[in-house]
Structure 1
Amino acid sequence: MSLSATHSPARPSAPLAPPVWIERGSRDYGRVGLALFLAGFSTFSLLYCVQPLLPEFARSFAIGPAESALALSLTTGFLAFAIFLAGALSQTVPRRGLMFASMAAAAILNFVAALAPNWHAFLAARALEGLVLGGVPAVAMAYLAEEIDPRHLGRSMGLYVAGTAFGAMMGRVGMGVLTEIASWQTAMALLGLVDLAAAVGFALLLPASRNFVARRGLDARHHAATWGTLLRHRPLLRLYGVGFVLTSVFVTLFNYASFRLSEPPYGLGQTAISLIFLVYGFGMFASSLAGGLADRFGRRPALAAGLALMAAGILLTLLAPLPLIAAGIVLVTIGFFTAHSVASGWVGRLAGASKSHAASLYLLFYYVGSSVTGSVGGWFWEHGGWPAVVGLTGALALAGLALALGIADRRAA
């Protein structure tokens, strides 16, 4: 059952007239797809560009693996908080302007981080970057759910998630390769320039909202009531739990895979380690395919399949041969992007008129998982090595699978 059928306190922000959908095959449908691809690319290349550099930070700043992980965990933690605020703010300002401002400010802050004189200044810049990036993910999900014909929402959400996969891949791989050629500071500054250009392209491409009506003022009681209702909606709450699991597993695994592969018996260099992130290409394919399959065959089977693939891939990384570790990482990547694409679209379908609030809650859980478990995973790595990391992430993947199987997949939802 849609949330709108049970949620009376939250007045819908959509117009009373029938919505004017953007249909697949139209010119605007293509523009939306490309613009949101750029938004996903920009957000996730900036967010995750530091991940292959964690061993470099540990050496350069004389810190431990868990502390070096703060370069990512602090950013995602502030992003989780900012998404909450952006979900409310986006009800009062045009969606396109808010997303553009967030993308541009985050790109500029990447320059600031590159010029930081010490570790604490660097972390401060990364925290601010996470704070301003909050204007993109929740608003992008809400925009798609409001503007795209529901029959094609899964496919459009899959393309957005594909952009996040491409951005995360290019941010990670680019950082690793450029750091071998120049310094990590130069690499981060160049990425900031690329993402500033992506922000401009996004603003030029994205059509203005057709079905969004801005509210006047920030009605705190309305937002609190809406979030409270959403947290009592059991299918949505399960999806929020799945979001927490997805980034907990994915970020933790990749964070400490870099340390594992830089040590004996592998001893891989920075470029070789960063090339592992090319597996995100599989994620781009999986996210685009998963949206269409979920639209056609049902969301619960697609979501459960993604989580099962993640669990299988985690177990495979326990084996010593490097090709088998790489195969495990591929399975985890395909499973992650499959599950995230399906869960993202499902949240919008279940939320009724409260799409922005529901998206902000999903992404709050999603990034808290990255921030908290990504750091906690450092303790497991330092005290139990790779088997401990596998135990942590494997248990989380199974918990996510249990949550997914408990969600009723009603096609009308």
Structure 2
Amino acid sequence: MIEAKTRAWWRATAALCLGSFLVFINLYVPQPLLPALKTTFEVSTLGVSLLMSAATLSLAFALLIFGPLSDAIGRETIMRVTLVAAGALSLLLAVAPNFETLLLLRLVQGFVLGGLPAVAIAWMGDEFDKPALLSAVGLYIGANSLGGISGRVVGGFAATLGGEAAAFLTVGTMTLLGCLLFWRLLPNSKAFVPKPFELRQALRDLAGHLRTPVLLAAYVLGGLNFLIFINQYSYITFRLAAPPYQLAAGALGLIFLTYLGGTFGSTVSGRLAQRFSPARCMGAGILILMLGTGVTLLSPLWLVMLGLLINAFGFFLCHSLASGWVGRYAQGARGSASALYLVFYYLGASVGGFWLEPFWRWAQWSGVAVGSWLLLGVTFFIALGLYRFERRENQR
């Protein structure tokens, strides 16, 4: 087993963090481009938002496929091949002749982008001892958010300088060059033992998780919260691209720096949960997300940015604790329980446009805020239910 802070640990962790960065830079590069792509291809706001929804939907499906598949054929091959495919697809996105082709390529890209997230932590579990695993996972998750921020910022500035195609071309080239380093850094597995793929057992495990109320509640809470959080960012780009703001794609990319509030939220979540309890902090995170949404209704751009910063803190505070809740209360098959949380998480992202679009058509950004508050009210009551369960557990 690889021990923490050794040369082998640093090398493997650097490889997986790089891979994570490359996955999320590809996943989120179109988001600041949505207003420009809407104009270029003459589609509706809902239609162009499908570029994000299609990718997250197929990514959610891929998590269910690649995880069990990696148990049978190994994990390095899946990570290496899918990363190269993701970079190649970004290059194809740069030359897509029409919106239908662009959407189809994003659907396929989302699927291959699911390869590394589905198996990376399992690879760490095979190869690292427990202290090494805990240290590496924290860095890996940090690379997720850094990749998401970078994809939007790089994509926005590349589009400002050379058009939307330049954004996909830049990210695709970065990914393929990064793959060379990823392949070189990632060591071959030494502890992996292949297991035959047992579909029946996998389905029984998934069904068991869905029949467990405290797990299902966490799945729904995480999925609905992400539905609101990620799609708010899509619709805010349309608001800020229009008068009186009229921000270009490069400036729109910078609004995603507010994700850094989420980095702080996830960092302090553990300490807050130890002091106040996980479920109580989940509820607080949702209330903070509702507050931030209210702040974004104000007109000054700096207050809109402040509202998004507050949103990111509240969302990631809740998300970190909800995902940890699943690991804590899953009765066996914890890997599939955590994978199922991510499936709900990305399914929420993929259907959010269908929920918020009618509110956008009704009252633009004010309507989006109303639609957000309605679902966040639901997730807040779910958090209250988890808090009641938590109190009963603590009294035993």
TM-score for both structures, normalised by structure 1: 0.85
> 2:104 is aligned with what amino acid?
A
Shift of 1:44: 1.3
Whole-Å separation in 1 of the counterparts to 2:5 and 2:273: 20
Q: Structure 2 unaligned runs (5+)? A: none
Aligned to 2:345: 366
1:57 equivalent among 32, 37, 57? 37
1:290 aligns with 2:273: no
Aligned to 1:98: 78
1:78 equivalent among 55, 58, 63? 58
Whole-Å separation in 1 of the counterparts to 2:80 and 2:153: 25
The Cα offsets for residues 344-401 of structure 1, whole Å up to 9 and x where unpaired, read as 3443444465233223211111111111013432232122211211112223233333
- RMSD (Å), alpha carbons: 2.8
Give the match's secondary structure for 1:167.
helix
Shift of 1:319: 1.7
2:279 equivalent among 300, 312, 337? 300
- Do the aligned partners of residues 161 and 393 (structure 1) sit closer, same or farther apart at CA in structure 2, a change above 3 Å counting? farther
Whole-Å separation in 2 of the counterparts to 1:206 and 1:295: 35
Q: Structure 1 unaligned runs (5+)? A: 1-19
- Do the aligned partners of residues 229 and 37 (structure 1) sit closer, same or farther apart at CA in structure 2, a change above 3 Å counting? same
After superposition, where does 1:3-402 map in structure 2 within 5 Å? 24-144=4-124, 156-206=136-186, 212-216=192-196, 218-290=197-269, 299-351=278-330, 353-402=332-381
> 1:396 is aligned with what amino acid?
L
Work out whether residues 279 and 329 of structure 1, in 8 Å CA contact, stay in contact via their aligned partners in 2.
yes
Work out whether residues 58 and 110 of structure 2, in 8 Å CA contact, stay in contact via their aligned partners in 1.
yes
Work out whether residues 70 and 375 of structure 1, in 8 Å CA contact, stay in contact via their aligned partners in 2.
no
Give the match's secondary structure for 1:91.
helix
> 2:366 is aligned with what amino acid?
P
Work out whether residues 177 and 271 of structure 1, in 8 Å CA contact, stay in contact via their aligned partners in 2.
yes
Whole-Å separation in 2 of the counterparts to 1:107 and 1:214: 28
Whole-Å separation in 2 of the counterparts to 1:207 and 1:285: 31
- Do the aligned partners of residues 192 and 358 (structure 1) sit closer, same or farther apart at CA in structure 2, a change above 3 Å counting? same
Displaced runs of 4+ in structure 1, greater than 6 A?
Answer: 151-154
The Cα offsets for residues 172-203 of structure 1, whole Å up to 9 and x where unpaired, read as 11111111111211221110121223334334
Give the match's secondary structure for 1:319.
coil
Whole-Å separation in 2 of the counterparts to 1:66 and 1:165: 25
Shift of 1:126: 0.7
TM-score for both structures, normalised by structure 2: 0.88
The Cα offsets for residues 127-156 of structure 1, whole Å up to 9 and x where unpaired, read as 110111121223234445666666786664
The Cα offsets for residues 82-116 of structure 1, whole Å up to 9 and x where unpaired, read as 22212321221222322222222111111111111
> 1:315 is aligned with what amino acid?
G
Aligned to 1:6: none
Shift of 1:336: 2.4
